Structure 1
Amino acid sequence: MGYNIAMACDFFFPQPGGIESHIYQLSTKLIDRGHKVIIITHAYEGRTGVRYLTNGLKVYHVPFLVIYRATTFPTVFSFFPTFRNIIIREQIEIVHGHASLSSFCHEAILHARTMGLRTVFTDHSLFGFADAGSILTNKLLKFTLSDVDHVICVSHTCKENTVLRASLDPLMVSVIPNAVVAENFRPLSHPAYSNGPDNQLQNFNAQAATPLPHYLGPNDTITIAVISRLFYNKGTDLLIAAIPRILAAHPNVRFIIAGSGPKAIDLEQMLERNVLQDRVELLGPVRHEEVRDVMVRGHIYLHPSLTEAFGTVIVEAASCGLYVVCTQVGGIPEVLPAHMTVFAKPEEDDLVAATGKAIAALRANKVRTERFHDQVKMMYSWIDVARRTERVYDGISGVLSEAEFYGYDAADAASWSATRGRAGVQSFALIDRLKRYYGCGIWAGKLFCLCMVIDYLIFLVLEMLAPRENIDIARNWPEKTINKAEREREKKDSIG
């Protein structure tokens, strides 16, 4: 039996990005597995109200004020009437919020708990502990995660960061990585997707499913691709400092840079100062479906990020057959095997040296990038991500026993229950919720309790003024029927 799930986040299409892609891909795969999924996000230019995407995925674009980097103004309570209406109309059972900086996510989880719904939170980012922005974000996260059923992180580094920031029991946090649709990020010459062999040699290659290596001569031009939001945390300042040095040391190298952001002006000024317009091509913002077309123009993908929980874009680059140069920060070292990457410290000198090392390796033909696509396809699968997420839903809904969900020996059940809770037993009782919020700090705990009490009173008023029986139930999209053979094939694909 499937669940009715609402994904809540400020970040969703048409805005491009890793979180947006994650929510879309996970939702479509959960629909394939027999669940009902809707998306709740804010309105974008030209998109307000209800939209349907591929696979019957319904998106609610709620018209709220956007203040910074596609996040809505945090009103705390004014979203509740609209949210309650959507939840009742769609008969939602589980609310799954994404991203620490999403106002919609935090408010949706608060309101969902008030309405007696199970909740899950997925963290996609890393945050510090010292600056004012991180301190406020961490306190907000502690407020939200004090009353959530389970937390998912996209890497083990992200899990450690989230556990420390929100003072969580590590056993209440699962690690489920991102993935890619390998078919959408394929090299130009991959035999499985070519239009047809032109000669016997290509025909033999297609049958063997092993593409021919492409050798670079000493004078061939090597193109370095960069696709990123041009923000400080994405390492744009590091990139600006490194580009002139890389191009000066390697005459037959050029850059292709795609993306937009406040650092775009600094990048353009650097090109003008160093007269590098003929060797650096700025594409500006690109849509997600155009990312592959940009990547296949390059040989190396440069990722200078200063903080990253996972880094889906480097998996996409490797799938396209690019050699990856990236900073050794956050969860990036967990993403790809060593033969696909050259790591650098988040410093200018080390980034320049690592890029030079990658260029030398390609010219010496020491890296078999033509094999990367098939290897990435075997490592990452959205079907596997959806299945593991579904297991979390089973755990918080009580379908799995405590021993099955946590994986402990049944003989240790007594001692385990005495010291640990289990996913899915977060009480909805008002007094229990107040106890959890009160423990969040001397002053913050009292403020959180006040917010929760006000939220509960608003819920009672809404129940009286707009009774549930007066809200029309939305018709469901026709369910996809997956026969047993298809499910077995999915299982083999995700394992293989």
Structure 2
Amino acid sequence: MSDSRKHRILMVSDFFYPNFGGVENHIYYLSQCLLKLGHKVVVMTHAYGKRSGVRYMTGGLKVYYVPLRPFFMQNIFPTFYGTLPIVRTILIRENISLVHGHQAFSTLCHEALMHARTMGYKVVFTDHSLYGFADVGSIHMNKVLQFTLADVTQAICVSHTSKENTVLRAGLPPEKVYVIPNAVDTAMFKPAPERLSREEIIIVVISRLVYRKGADLLVEVIPEVCQMHSNVRFIIGGDGPKRVRLEEMREKHSLQDRVEMLGAVPHAHVRSVLISGHIFLNSSLTEAFCIAILEAASCGLLTVSTRVGGVPEVLPDDMIVLAEPDPGDMVRAIGTAISILPRIDPQTMHLRMKKLYSWHDVAKRTEIVYDHALSCCNQSLTDRLSRYLSCGAWAGKLFCLVMIIDFLLWHLLQMWQPAEEIEEVPELVFHNREESWNVNEDHGLI
């Protein structure tokens, strides 16, 4: 790749390692593949416990754990302008050319994209979730998203359903939104070397035990399945406020020997849990994509899932059994999965997943989005404000005021600490994986 096409990307989200989840994995694997393609990638997230300052991860991935503590659900407290000095310093120090924000309910993402646009940087946003339109939380979230995306250069969604949802919620022109799915590390998620005995059918559930993930649905489905199929056993990995309900269900129906509760499962141990089962059960009530389904399929498990969001787009019909988010239909789908289980070959399924989903392919497609974003012409503040005005009679004026203040604060920072006084960091070249793990840059740069 020629130097002219190399990008210097800042990934921003409240959700990153050591936390584990779909967004965290997406940012990590995408960053690693972009590094291999010759781009410079830096991640910005908030501090996690004692993990603060600057760290290096595998492949030389540099991570800024800025000294801001999570306030609610791993999000920092919204400050609007409090993050401006830190964001500006990182952008200048790392000589960033493009900012890529992830996740609609990440406060740090919204603020970083706002500041980056104020400073004239091109920004890309990836939406990883689906939201409704009627409840109070969704209405407020959609307004925030409309504000952020009013001036975004390009947007990415992980499924076509997610794209439709984001276009409707944020009022974005569809031509500015690309669909790039998630992927799975098939080298990490491999089937068991030997096929499991099917005398006992083991159904695996790995999920946060919250309402949105359908934990209440599991409470009704599991006793029915156990009653209908005497050779079925459940393994449930995950933690959350709904865990108590599942434990109460297990006690009420005397299923202690047939429902195993593992609690929170570290990501490094997910494969070992998956390969102990035959069927993976996903009971989510809303899902933009669901990486867990990919991990299970890569391990050779047949999937039973609710037909919600972008889930029907994830796997071919012969690798998944879909059901409505209704207890009766879920029980029927599990019965169907048990009947077709003898026709499932884990090794064949794994090989198909290697062809279907690749992080390298995701990175190549994301690279095209970056090229398009950087080819867009810059607009003046007046032109940008006109976009915010179109967001609503009152909201539009409020958004314009927020951006004008941000613009003025940025110029004050320019006078107080000119960009020339901020030293750019030298480029570090890592020659092997072990070296990149050993570098630990914990000096107080920020």
Q: What SS class does the counterpart of residue 240 from structure 2 fall into?
A: coil
Tell me the CA shift for residue 123 of structure 1.
0.5
Distance 1:327 1:234, change over 3 A: same
User: Which of the residues 33, 49, 53 maps onto 2:53?
Assistant: 49
Matches within 5 A, 1:29-108: 29-108=33-112
| CA distance in 1: counterparts of 2:316 and 2:431, whole angstroms | 36
| CA distance in 2: counterparts of 1:59 and 1:41, whole angstroms | 7
User: Which of the residues 442, 462, 469 maps onto 2:420?
Assistant: 469
Alignment-derived partner of residue 331 in structure 1: 310
Q: What SS class does the counterpart of residue 425 from structure 2 fall into?
A: coil
User: Which of the residues 171, 196, 200 maps onto 1:221?
Assistant: 200
What is the identity, as a one-letter code, of the residue corresponding to 1:470?
E
Does the CA-based 8 Å contact 1:339-1:367 persist in structure 2? Answer: no
| CA distance in 1: counterparts of 2:141 and 2:361, whole angstroms | 31
| CA distance in 2: counterparts of 1:395 and 1:168, whole angstroms | 16
Alignment-derived partner of residue 425 in structure 1: 377
1:122 aligns with 2:126: yes
Tell me the CA shift for residue 426 of structure 1.
5.2
Does the CA-based 8 Å contact 2:92-2:419 persist in structure 1? Answer: yes
Q: What TM-score do the two structures reach when normalised by structure 2?
A: 0.94
1:144 aligns with 2:148: yes
Does the CA-based 8 Å contact 1:6-1:92 persist in structure 2? Answer: yes
Alignment-derived partner of residue 394 in structure 1: 371
Alignment-derived partner of residue 9 in structure 1: 13
Matches within 5 A, 1:268-307: 268-307=247-286
Does the CA-based 8 Å contact 2:48-2:69 persist in structure 1? Answer: no
Does the CA-based 8 Å contact 2:71-2:77 persist in structure 1? Answer: yes
| CA distance in 2: counterparts of 1:367 and 1:44, whole angstroms | 42
**Which of the pair has more CA radius of gyration?**
1
User: Which of the residues 364, 388, 399 maps onto 1:448?
Assistant: 399
Q: Percent identity?
A: 54
Q: What SS class does the counterpart of residue 140 from structure 1 fall into?
A: helix
Alignment-derived partner of residue 172 in structure 2: 168
| CA distance in 1: counterparts of 2:200 and 2:361, whole angstroms | 39
Does the CA-based 8 Å contact 2:234-2:258 persist in structure 1? Answer: yes
Q: What TM-score do the two structures reach when normalised by structure 1?
A: 0.84
Per-residue CA deviation, residues 372-421 of structure 1 (Å, 9 max, x unaligned), is 000000000111100010011111112xxxxxxxxxxxxxxxxxxxxxxx
Alignment-derived partner of residue 245 in structure 2: 266
The CA RMSD over aligned residues, in Å, is 1.4
Alignment-derived partner of residue 385 in structure 2: 434
| CA distance in 2: counterparts of 1:367 and 1:187, whole angstroms | 12
Tell me the CA shift for residue 67 of structure 1.
2.3
Tell me the CA shift for residue 25 of structure 1.
0.2
Q: What SS class does the counterpart of residue 184 from structure 1 fall into?
A: coil
Does the CA-based 8 Å contact 2:16-2:27 persist in structure 1? Answer: yes
Does the CA-based 8 Å contact 1:34-1:479 persist in structure 2? Answer: no
Alignment-derived partner of residue 478 in structure 1: 429
Does the CA-based 8 Å contact 1:53-1:59 persist in structure 2? Answer: yes
Alignment-derived partner of residue 436 in structure 2: none
What is the identity, as a one-letter code, of the residue corresponding to 2:274?
M
| CA distance in 2: counterparts of 1:21 and 1:161, whole angstroms | 22
Tell me the CA shift for residue 51 of structure 1.
1.0
| CA distance in 2: counterparts of 1:342 and 1:376, whole angstroms | 17
Q: What SS class does the counterpart of residue 41 from structure 2 fall into?
A: strand
Q: What SS class does the counterpart of residue 182 from structure 1 fall into?
A: coil
What is the identity, as a one-letter code, of the residue corresponding to 2:411?
L
User: Which of the residues 223, 227, 232 maps onto 1:244?
Assistant: 223
Alignment-derived partner of residue 442 in structure 2: none
Q: What SS class does the counterpart of residue 325 from structure 2 fall into?
A: coil
Tell me the CA shift for residue 73 of structure 1.
1.2
Alignment-derived partner of residue 342 in structure 1: 321
Tell me the CA shift for residue 430 of structure 1.
1.1
| CA distance in 2: counterparts of 1:439 and 1:450, whole angstroms | 14
Alignment-derived partner of residue 418 in structure 1: none
Distance 1:480 1:92, change over 3 A: farther
| CA distance in 1: counterparts of 2:349 and 2:378, whole angstroms | 44
Per-residue CA deviation, residues 177-215 of structure 1 (Å, 9 max, x unaligned), is 00011110001127xxxxxxxxxxxxxxxxxxxxxx767
| CA distance in 2: counterparts of 1:118 and 1:189, whole angstroms | 47
The structure showing larger relative contact order (alpha-carbon pairs under 8 Å, at least 6 residues apart) is: 2
| CA distance in 2: counterparts of 1:7 and 1:15, whole angstroms | 16
Tell me the CA shift for residue 477 of structure 1.
2.2
Does the CA-based 8 Å contact 2:14-2:75 persist in structure 1? Answer: yes
Does the CA-based 8 Å contact 1:221-1:252 persist in structure 2? Answer: yes
| CA distance in 2: counterparts of 1:367 and 1:259, whole angstroms | 26
What is the identity, as a one-letter code, of the residue corresponding to 1:356?
G
Tell me the CA shift for residue 280 of structure 1.
1.1
Tell me the CA shift for residue 479 of structure 1.
6.6
| CA distance in 1: counterparts of 2:53 and 2:267, whole angstroms | 23
What is the identity, as a one-letter code, of the residue corresponding to 1:383?
H
Does the CA-based 8 Å contact 1:27-1:57 persist in structure 2? Answer: yes
Alignment-derived partner of residue 435 in structure 2: none
